[in-house]
Amino acid sequence: MSKIHVVNIGNRSCSCRRWDLTGIPCNHAVSCIAWMKDDPDKYVRDYFKSDANLKTYANFIEPLTGKDTWPNVDVSRCLPPYVKKMLGRLKKVRRREMNEDDSQASRYSRHGTTITCHLCFNEGHNRQRCPLRGVSSIAPVEEDTSRSKSRASTSTSRGRGRGRASTSSIERSRGRASNSARDDPSSSRVVVSGLEL
């Protein structure tokens, strides 16, 4: 079913309201003007034509002079307001009006939710205020100390290169050598940490 529109050529209007709003004949008006064997350009509003543009700038526009030629006025100079630096942290967010939307309104509200601890998995507190927080931290410390002791023992037993003899073994060998020399003055051999001298 096609829509029927009424065109009034004298008032330059159409029931589709496009000619009234734009000032240019719509397709319904153009078909009526073509049936009348007339030119559609005659029914365009005058402010779309070049004559209206020439009338707009027909008057002479006087140029303005510079600021140095302006008259001086006996009025005190308007200064910006004095800004007093307030104590505390600076506010980077401006105060919003009553009808403005809050920027934080899109965030999820925690009202009515229960907090669950990730250490004991009980509700009512978080990980920072868990009573088992100090107790659970002892176990990894003991493991770390045991690991460090085992690493120290393995590092001293393995060592690098030939290694050095301990002072206790050297002192023991010296003591044995001195005792043997006292007992047998003819012996001139001394053993120090497994080496013959």
pLDDT, tens digit, 9 for 90 and up, residues 30-75 = 999 999 999 988 899 888 888 898 988 888 888 888 888 888 888 8
Q: Look at residue 133 in the predicted model and tell me its pLDDT.
A: 83
**pLDDT, tens digit (0-9, with 9 covering 90-100), for 92-104:** 888 888 887 766 6
Rounded to 5 degrees, φ, ψ at 182 are: -70, -40
Is 106 a residue whose pLDDT tops 60? yes
Q: How far apart are CA 34 and CA 39, in angstroms?
A: 7
- Specify which residues 196 forms β-bridges with: 191
Residue 50 exposed, middle or buried by CB count within 10 Å (0-12, 13-18, 19+) = exposed
Mean of the pLDDT values across residues 73-97?
86
Cβ atoms of 29 and 7 closer than 8 Å: yes
Scanning the structure block, which residue is given the tokens 């007093």?
84
Scanning the structure block, which residue is given the tokens 């920072």?
128
How are beta strands 191-192 and 13-14 bridged, if at all? Answer: unpaired
**pLDDT, tens digit (0-9, with 9 covering 90-100), for 134-174:** 774 444 444 445 555 555 555 444 555 555 555 444 445 45
CB atoms within 10 A of CB 14: 20
Cβ atoms of 119 and 133 closer than 8 Å: yes
183 confidence band (pLDDT: 50, 70, 90): low
**Angle (CA) 55 57 59, round 5°:** 90
Q: Look at residue 117 in the predicted model and tell me its pLDDT.
A: 92
0.75 exceeded by the pTM? Answer: no
